[in-house]
């Protein structure tokens, strides 16, 4: 598995947050499909209550899971290489010199004991090759499917983790 992230730009969001944009490339070098989870996907700290599903450019399916320690999830087929251009990331405070960015790969994951695929409302598998704008992730206007837990109760996430990739993205002025 491989993942790279490159700083593109930053701008203001609702205070005290900043919106950073990254170009993120994900590659599934395995012979089987793999989930790629971007953000805080640690099962110990994650409690999910909803998902918004996006179809970027008709080629890349992204689930934005919200709750305590939310994350974005993509299911990539074997041999896939996907680039998310201008992937939005929200941080608090001043622009840092380096942005920590984590990617976890997993053969499977569940939300509240249910296979993650069921949370997408469609086939979650992305195309094998694509380079798409990730900017629609900033708006709920482009949501293709949404689901939440009953009463927005926090549900546990369980991963069959393959690899944890920790990236340090340099921010240039």
* Domain locations in the chain as residue ranges: 2-170
pTM of the model: 0.92
**Pair of tokens at residue 170:** 């340099």
Residue 18: the pLDDT is: 86
Q: Is the peptide bond before 16 cis (omega within 30 degrees of 0)?
A: yes
Averages of pLDDT over each 10 residues, the chain, 173 residues: 92 83 96 91 71 95 90 96 95 86 94 94 97 92 94 91 92 77
């Amino acid at each position: 598995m491989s993942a790279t992230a490159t700083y593109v730009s930053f701008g203001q969001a609702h205070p005290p947050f900043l919106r950073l944009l990254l170009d993120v490339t994900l590659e599934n070098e395995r012979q089987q499909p793999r989930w790629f989870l971007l953000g805080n996907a640690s099962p110990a700290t994650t409690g999910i209550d909803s998902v918004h599903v996006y179809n970027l450019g008709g080629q890349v399916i992204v689930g934005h899971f919200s709750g305590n320690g939310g994350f974005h999830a993509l299911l990539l087929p074997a041999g896939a290489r996907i680039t998310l251009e201008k992937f939005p990331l929200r941080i608090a405070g001043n622009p840092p010199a380096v942005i920590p960015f984590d990617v976890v790969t997993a053969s499977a994951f569940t939300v509240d004991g249910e296979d993650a695929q069921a949370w997408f409302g469609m086939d979650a598998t992305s195309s094998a090759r694509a380079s798409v704008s990730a900017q629609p992730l900033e708006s709920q206007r482009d949501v293709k499917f949404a689901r939440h837990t009953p009463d927005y109760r926090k549900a546990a996430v369980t991963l069959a983790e393959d690899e944890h990739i920790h990236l340090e993205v340099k921010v240039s002025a």
